Structure 1
Amino acid sequence: MNFKNLVLIAVSFFVFSVSAQSRGVFLSSYSDVTKIALEKLADQTTFSKFNIESVKKSKSIDSKIILLKIEADNKWIKKFKLKPNTVKSEGFQIINKVNNTYLIASDDSGLMYGILELRDQLKLNGNNSKFIEKTENPHFPFRAVKFNLPWSSYRIGESLHLHMKTVKDISFWEGYLDMMAENRLNALTLWNLHPFTFMVQSEKFPEATQFTGQEFKDWQKFWRQLFKMAKDRNIETYIVNWNIITSPGITETHNVANYKDDLEWHYGFTPADTSQVIVDYMRETITQTINEYPNLTGLGVSIGERMKMPMEDAMKWVKNTFIEGMKNADRKVKFIHRAPFKVEPEIAREYIESYTDFPDPIIMEFKFNWSHGHSTPNLAITHGGKVSDQYWNPKPSNYKMAWMMRNEDFIMLNWGNTEFIREHIAVNDIPDVTAGYFIGSETYIPAKEFRMNPDVNYNWKYAYEKDWEFYQMWGRLMYDPNTSDDYFIKNFNYRYGNEVGESLFRALQLGSKMPLRFSTFYKGTWDFTIYSEGFLNGKQLYRNYKEAEDAFIRIDEMITHKTLDPLYLNIDEYNNLKLARKSISNEYVTPLELANEMERNGLKILELCHKMEGSSINNAENFNIEINDVKAWAHLSLYFADKLMAGINLDEGVKTKSLEKKQKAIDYLRQGSKHWLDLIDSTKQYQEVSLLHIRSFKFSWEMYYPRVLKDIEIVESINF
C-alpha cells in the first residue's frame, strides 16, 4: 500500500508487541510526520505483527496507545472522557486511563514529539514500564542548528572541504535530521557564500549558471530530497548567505564584484559593489529559488564583511534584492535577518519593521558574545560594537530575536553542561522578544568523522554522532528548560550502563565548565581570537603565517589580557587591588577563585573516573573515548589552574621584586607541564587534524608541549 494514500484513511492501526505485552496504536488521521515518528517508536520494540488497515470510525477501539489531535478528534476526546491540559503547537500531553495511554496534541508536530517521547520512555525505562503522564509545550518556537556548507564556503580550508562528499550524501542527512527531530530541534539553517547557482539555473541570467546537464539535475534532486525529509520531521529549512556575494559567471561576464587584492579572501567577496546587474540578478534568482523548491521554508541574509557602505544603503540593498525577490514569489516564505554588525540599530529597525509582507515574525539573529557564545551567560559584547538593548527595547513590532550561540571553542572533545544552558536561557529569555537560539560553528562541520586516530575503534559513522550530548542538551532544554538532569543521566545509563552513566554525566558537566570559564576570563571576539580547548589565540598567527605554535597563549600575555565578562578580574587588575590593600567586592570573580574552582573540578573529574574503573559497561569502544575526553577536560582544568596561579605569583613577583614569588610561578608552571603531558596521553585517540583556528597547520595537543615548557623559560629569564 502506498503510504502517501494513507492520509485518506480515517483510522489506521499499527499493531506490534513489546516483549510479551501487545500494544496497538490508534490514529484518527495520518501524515508523513506521524509515519516517521511511528517507525521510530516501532524500532524500540520487537515486532510480532505490523498491519495497516482501514476501518470505519464507528468501529470500537481496542488499542493500548491512542493518538488524538484536539480539533480533529474532539469527538473521541469527549467519548473517552478526557480533560486535556493546554496543549500548544508542537506540544503534547500523555494521559493514562484504565488500560490505555492517550497521546493528545494540537498538530502533527506535537504528535511526532509525543510519539518520540513514548519511544524514549520505552528505551530509557524498559519496554514493560508504564508510560509517565506529562504535558510538554515548547519554551521556544525556534530551535535551530547553524550548519555551514562546505561548497562556496565562507572560510577556506581542508577541515571544511573534506566534508564535500559526506554533506552531499542524502544518507548523512537522513541520520542528521532524525537526530534533530529526536532532540526537538526544529530549524536547519544552511549557510554559504552564494547558494543559488547550486540550486537554480537563472532564467534571465544564464551566464550565472555554474552546473549543467546531469550534474545540475543531481543538485536539484539533492535539495528536493533534503527539504522534503526535513519537512517530514517538522524541521524548517533556511538558506542563508552573505549579502552582495554573487555568481562567478556574473562577476566575469559583467566585470562586477571583482575584488582580488586581498589574498585572505576568495572569489565572491566584494567591497560593496551595488551594480544594477547584481541587484537584478539577486532579486530574480531569489524568486526563482522559492518557486522551484516548495518545501524550502525561507531565506536569510547577513549584512557585514565587505558590505562597506552606510547602514541605510545596506538596508536598501537588502530590500531591493531579498525582500522584493521574496515578495515576487508564488508563495510566502519566512525570513532570517542577522542583526547588522555596525552599531546603528535604529536604522536597521526602521527598515526591518517596514517589512510587513511575511506570514510569521522575522527572525533577527543576534550573535551572543560574538563568535564565543559558550562563555559567560551575560551579554558582554556584540559583533563589532558595544552592547545595546535597542534591538529589543522597545519591543519590536514584526520580528523576534534568536541568539546565535557560536561554538569555536571545542571541536575535538565532547561537551555538555545543562547548568550553563539553563542559566543562559533564564538570563536571556526576553519576554515576547526571544524566539529561541541557533547552535553551531563557523569552522567545524559535524559531518565526516576526521578527528579520530585510525587505530582507535569507535561505533559511529558521522561526527555529529560523537557530539550527541551537545545536541541533546541544547535541543531538549530549548524545548523545555525544566527537563531534569535525570533524563540526561538515563541516556548515559542507556548508552554505557547503570554503573557508570551518572558518574560520566557528572564528570562531563564539570569538565565542560573549563572552556566556559576560559573564554570568559580570556576575551575573544571573532573566530580565531580564542580556541579554548587548545589554549590558543589564533589571531596571533593569522596574519603572520609563522609557526603554528605561535598561537599558544603565553604566561606573560595571559596576565594582562582583558576578560570578556567585566565581573571577572584579570591577573593584573587583581594584583593591583590586592597590593593597594583595596577591598574586592564579592560580585567580582578573581583569578584566585577561578584557579581554585578549576583545580577542584579537575580533581573531582579524576576521582569520578577512578570510581568508574572496573565497572560493568556497555559499548566499551565509545565509552573509552568518552572517558578519555573527560580526563582531557580534567587535565586542561588543572593546567588552567596552575597557569593562573603562576600568573598571579609572577605578576606579584615582578611588581614587588620578589624572587620567592618568581620561584613559585616557576613551580606552578612545572606542575602544569605535567598536567599537559597527562592531557597528551588522554588525547592519543585523536590524530593530528586540520583546524581552521591555526590556518593551514595541523593541530594536536602534543605539538604545543614545547610552548608549555617555553613559559618556564620566559619566567626564568625575567630579571628584577
Structure 2
Amino acid sequence: MNLRPLILIVAGFFCLTMNGQSRGIYMSSESEVTKLALEKLAAQISFSKHDMEAINKTKTVDSKIILLNIEHDKSWIKKFKLKLEDIKSEGFQIINQDKDTYLVAFDDAGLMYGILELKDQLKLFGEDSKFKEKTENPHFSFRAVKFNLPWSSYRIGESLHLHMKTVKDTVFWEGYLDMMAEQRLNALTLWNLHPFTFMIQPEKFPEATQFSGQEFKDWQAFWRTLFKMAKDRSIETYIVNWNIITSPGLTETHNVANYKDDLEWHYGFTPADTSQVIVDYMRESITQTINEYPNLTGLGVSIGERMKMPMEEAMKWVKNTFVAGMKNANRKVKFIHRAPFKVEPEIAREYIESYTDTEGPIIMEFKFNWSHGHSTPNLAITHGGKVSDQYWNPKPSNYKMAWMMRNEDFIMLNWGNTEFIREHIKVNDFQDITMGYFIGSETYIPAKEYRMRPESNYNWKYAYEKDWEFYQMWGRLMYDPNTSDNYFIQNFKHRYGDAVGESLFRALQLGSEMPLRFSTYYKGTWDFTIYSEGFLNGKQLYRNYKEAEDAFIQIDEMITHETLDPLYLNIDNYNNLKLENKAIGDELVTPLEIAEEMEQNGLLILELCEQIQDKPSRNLDNFNIELNDVKAWANLSLYFADKLMAGIYLDEAVKTKNETKRQKAIGFLKNASKHWLDLVESTQQYQEVSLLHIRSFKFSWEMYYPRVLKDIEIAEAIKF
C-alpha cells in the first residue's frame, strides 16, 4: 500500500492525490509545530502558506481536510457550523461532514496530535478509508521521558559511555523527538551530575569553565538545536541534576567539595559542602543558563546523595541556589523538584509551597517503588523506603505530583503490557493532584544499539526503535488510558502482517507479566538490587568485585527474601502459615499462585509462537527478533514458576525433614534448568554486553547457566 500520496500546491493549499481521489488540506496559519506534523502526514515539506479563503475559490479537490485552531479560528468554526465537544489544551476533535473532514484543536500541540492521528489512520486503515471521528484530550498534562546523559553521568561504566557520540548527534535526537511526538510524550528530562559547564561559560566564575573555543561553540550549537527541535514538536525540555555537585575547576580553585576517599563515587560527587562560593556559583549558573537558552523549558533538582544535612538546611540550599537563580533570570521557567529521600514532608512542603517564582505548578517527582516502578501498581515504597501521604494530603497549593516509573528490570527484551499501565494509572491518579509520569532508566540509555550480535539481521538504527512498544504503550495510555488494545494490535499487524500481529501482541502482553510479578515477589530498592530479566541482584557486587555470577539469585535466597508488596507472601512465610494450619486470606498472593500463573503464561506464549512461526509476515528480520523475545519471556516465566515450586518443596522439606519433598524440589530445579537452556537458545540474537547491574562485568543469560545448576547442588547437599 502506497502511503506517500502525491502533493500539489493549488491556490495556496495542499492537494493530496490518493488512489485517484484528491484531498485538499486547508489551514489559516502555519507554525513549525504543524509544519512538521504535516510533513509526517503528507511526506513533503515544501509548501506555501495555507489560505482558508482558497476553500471558496477552488473546486479542484474531491474532499477537503480543514485544520482549525480554536485559539485563532473561532470565526471559521462558526462559519462551518461545527458542533464541538469540549476540547482542552493538547486535545483535538475529528469531525466528518459530507465528504470533508474537520480537525479542530485547542492549540498547536493539539493540532499536531490531530494531524498525526490522521496520518496514523491512513497508515493503519488504508488510504481509501474514511477518517474515524473522535474527540481526544490528554488525561495527564505531563508525559515525560527520563533520559540520563552519558557525560557527567550519575553512574559510570561502558554501557553508558559508549553512547557519547550518538547522544551528541542531533540526527539521533531528531528521530527520538519525532518518536516522542508520535507517541504523545510531551516532556524530555535530561539528567546528569553537573550540566552547567557543558552549556555555559560562567561569567562570574571563569575558573569553572570546562570548554573553550570551537569545542564550546559545538556544545552551544548542540543544546540550542536540541531545545529548538523539541519546541517545534511541542515537547518541553528540562535539565535535571543532583544537588551540590560542582565543576572540577571550581572545586580545585577554591578547595571545596573535594571528597575523594570513596572510589565508588567518581570525581564530581561531593559531600554536603555548603560553602558560599558554591552557593553563589550555582545560583549564577542557573540564571545564566536560563537566559542563554530561551527554548529550555525548565530545570530540576534532586537533593539526595552527598547532602548529609538536616532537611531544613537542604531545603534552604535549594532556595538559595535554584529558586534564587530562577528568580533572577529574565523569564520564568518550570521547575521539577524530586521529593526528598528523607520522609519529612512537613518541612519540605513548607519550603516548596513558598516558591512562587516558577511558571505554573512545581512538578514534584516521586519514585514509584523506588528504582523498580515496573512491579506492583500499589505504592509500597519510595526512595528511602517509607511511604507517606503527607505530600498530597492535604492537597498541595503550588505543586502537583508526577510518578517516576524507573525501569532497571528489562533492558534486552522488548516489553509491553497495556493492562498494567492502565491499572497503574487507575490506582495512582489522585484526581487533580497527579499531573503525570516520568518513564525511563538510570542504567540504560536507549541510543546506540549495542545489544545485538554483529551477525544479527535487524532493520533499526537506534536502541529506542527496538523498544517501540514501551514508548507507544506508555505514551498513548498516559494521553488516553481508554485507548483500546485494538489500536496496539493494529500497529503490530501493520509492522508484521495481519496473520501474526495479534498473536504476537498477546504473547508480549503475557510475557511482560514476568518482570512485573518477579519484582513484586522479590523486593528491590535501589538500582542494582534487582534485574528481573536477568534474575540478578547485583547489590553484593557493588563494593566487592568478585565474580559476576555472584549476582545470580539462588534458591535459598528466593525462599526467604522479602516481598515488595505486603499482600504477597514469600515462600518462608507461606509455608509457615500452612504448617501452622493458619488461614491464608483471599487478599494475599501466594508463591503457589504466582507459579501457576507463570506456568500458564509461559505455555500459552509458546503455543502462540508455534501458531505464528511459519505464517506469512512482513519485516521478517525484526519479526523474528520480536518472536525470540517473547519466547525468552516464556522461558523466563517457566523458569520462575519451577523455581518457586522448588522453593516451596525445599523449604517445607527442611522444616519437616521430609525427603520426598526434597526430591520433588530437585525435580523442579532440574526442569527449571531445562527452561534456562531454552532461554539461552532464544536469546542468541544478543551478544555479551556491558551491564551496570553487574558493574564491570559483561552479561548474557548463557554465562549464568552454571549458577542455575548450582541450585540443584544446594538442594542435593541438604541432609536431614
- Which interval holds the TM-score relative to the shorter structure? over 0.9
- Mapped to 2, the partners of 1:59 and 1:516 lie a distance apart of 54
Deviation digits for residues 74-133 of structure 1 (CA, Å, limit 9, x no counterpart) = 211121111111000000000000110000011000000000000000000001110000
Q: Name the structure 2 match of 1:28.
A: 28
8 Å CA contact 2:194–2:242 kept in 1: the answer is yes
Structure 2 residue runs of 5 or longer lacking an equivalent are 1-10
Alignment of 1:268-667 (within 5 A): 268-667=268-667
Q: Name the structure 2 match of 1:705.
A: 705
Q: How many Å apart are 1:50 and its aligned residue?
A: 6.6
8 Å CA contact 1:69–1:106 kept in 2: the answer is yes
- Mapped to 1, the partners of 2:21 and 2:96 lie a distance apart of 16
Q: How many Å apart are 1:404 and its aligned residue?
A: 0.1
**Secondary structure at 2:258's aligned position in 1?**
coil
8 Å CA contact 2:25–2:64 kept in 1: the answer is yes
- Mapped to 2, the partners of 1:496 and 1:625 lie a distance apart of 12
Give 2:602's aligned amino acid: G
Give 1:243's aligned amino acid: N
**Secondary structure at 2:56's aligned position in 1?**
coil
**Secondary structure at 1:299's aligned position in 2?**
strand
- Mapped to 1, the partners of 2:49 and 2:182 lie a distance apart of 27
Q: Name the structure 1 match of 2:4.
A: none
- Mapped to 2, the partners of 1:343 and 1:704 lie a distance apart of 38
Deviation digits for residues 116-164 of structure 1 (CA, Å, limit 9, x no counterpart) = 0000000000011100000000000000000000000000000000000
Q: Name the structure 2 match of 1:52.
A: 48
Give 2:48's aligned amino acid: I
Give 1:205's aligned amino acid: F
- Mapped to 1, the partners of 2:400 and 2:636 lie a distance apart of 38
- Mapped to 2, the partners of 1:402 and 1:18 lie a distance apart of 43
Q: Name the structure 2 match of 1:71.
A: 71
C-alpha change, 1:257 and 1:411, in structure 2 (3 Å) is same
Q: How many Å apart are 1:14 and its aligned residue?
A: 1.8
- Mapped to 1, the partners of 2:710 and 2:150 lie a distance apart of 37
**Secondary structure at 2:487's aligned position in 1?**
helix
C-alpha change, 1:396 and 1:108, in structure 2 (3 Å) is same
8 Å CA contact 1:559–1:651 kept in 2: the answer is yes
- Mapped to 1, the partners of 2:109 and 2:707 lie a distance apart of 52
Q: How many Å apart are 1:71 and its aligned residue?
A: 3.3
- Mapped to 2, the partners of 1:359 and 1:197 lie a distance apart of 25
8 Å CA contact 2:198–2:219 kept in 1: the answer is yes
- Mapped to 1, the partners of 2:542 and 2:154 lie a distance apart of 16
Residue 149 of structure 1 pairs with residue 149 of structure 2? yes
- Mapped to 1, the partners of 2:518 and 2:12 lie a distance apart of 55
C-alpha change, 1:659 and 1:463, in structure 2 (3 Å) is same
- Mapped to 2, the partners of 1:176 and 1:56 lie a distance apart of 33
Give 2:521's aligned amino acid: F
Q: Name the structure 2 match of 1:5.
A: none
8 Å CA contact 1:12–1:27 kept in 2: the answer is no
C-alpha change, 1:12 and 1:524, in structure 2 (3 Å) is farther
Give 1:132's aligned amino acid: K
8 Å CA contact 2:29–2:50 kept in 1: the answer is no
C-alpha change, 1:77 and 1:689, in structure 2 (3 Å) is same
Structure 1 residue runs of 5 or longer lacking an equivalent are 1-10
**Secondary structure at 1:296's aligned position in 2?**
coil
8 Å CA contact 1:15–1:50 kept in 2: the answer is no
Q: Name the structure 2 match of 1:135.
A: 135
- Mapped to 1, the partners of 2:197 and 2:156 lie a distance apart of 19
Q: How many Å apart are 1:284 and its aligned residue?
A: 0.4
Q: Name the structure 2 match of 1:8.
A: none
Q: Name the structure 2 match of 1:4.
A: none
Give 1:352's aligned amino acid: I
Q: Name the structure 1 match of 2:101.
A: 101
- Mapped to 1, the partners of 2:12 and 2:356 lie a distance apart of 42
8 Å CA contact 2:515–2:532 kept in 1: the answer is yes
8 Å CA contact 1:93–1:135 kept in 2: the answer is yes
Give 1:377's aligned amino acid: P
Q: Name the structure 2 match of 1:259.
A: 259
Alignment of 1:128-277 (within 5 A): 128-277=128-277
Deviates more, 1:421-430 or 1:349-358: 349-358
Matched residue count: 707
Q: How many Å apart are 1:196 and its aligned residue?
A: 0.3
Residue 85 of structure 1 pairs with residue 90 of structure 2? no
Q: Name the structure 2 match of 1:7.
A: none
**Secondary structure at 2:386's aligned position in 1?**
coil
Q: Over the residues paired in the alignment, what is the CA RMSD in angstroms?
A: 1.3
- Mapped to 2, the partners of 1:348 and 1:576 lie a distance apart of 42
Give 1:88's aligned amino acid: K
Deviates more, 1:52-61 or 1:405-414: 52-61
Fraction of identical pairs, as percent:
82
8 Å CA contact 2:373–2:406 kept in 1: the answer is yes
8 Å CA contact 2:12–2:54 kept in 1: the answer is no
8 Å CA contact 1:12–1:28 kept in 2: the answer is no
Give 1:248's aligned amino acid: P
Alignment of 1:675-690 (within 5 A): 675-690=675-690
8 Å CA contact 2:224–2:295 kept in 1: the answer is yes
**Secondary structure at 2:402's aligned position in 1?**
strand
C-alpha change, 1:630 and 1:59, in structure 2 (3 Å) is closer
Q: How many Å apart are 1:544 and its aligned residue?
A: 1.3
- Mapped to 1, the partners of 2:406 and 2:283 lie a distance apart of 29
**Secondary structure at 1:390's aligned position in 2?**
helix
- Mapped to 2, the partners of 1:385 and 1:510 lie a distance apart of 30
Deviation digits for residues 351-406 of structure 1 (CA, Å, limit 9, x no counterpart) = 00000122200000000000000000000001113111000000000000000000
C-alpha change, 1:450 and 1:646, in structure 2 (3 Å) is same
Structure 1 runs (4+) greater than 6 angstroms displaced: none
- Mapped to 2, the partners of 1:412 and 1:55 lie a distance apart of 49
- Mapped to 2, the partners of 1:35 and 1:504 lie a distance apart of 35
Give 1:702's aligned amino acid: E
Return the TM-score normalized by structure 2. Answer: 0.97
Q: How many Å apart are 1:55 and its aligned residue?
A: 4.5
**Secondary structure at 2:224's aligned position in 1?**
helix
C-alpha change, 1:338 and 1:54, in structure 2 (3 Å) is closer
Residue 693 of structure 1 pairs with residue 689 of structure 2? no
Q: How many Å apart are 1:16 and its aligned residue?
A: 2.1
Q: Name the structure 2 match of 1:126.
A: 126
8 Å CA contact 2:30–2:49 kept in 1: the answer is no
Give 1:525's aligned amino acid: T
Q: How many Å apart are 1:51 and its aligned residue?
A: 4.7
- Mapped to 1, the partners of 2:325 and 2:597 lie a distance apart of 53
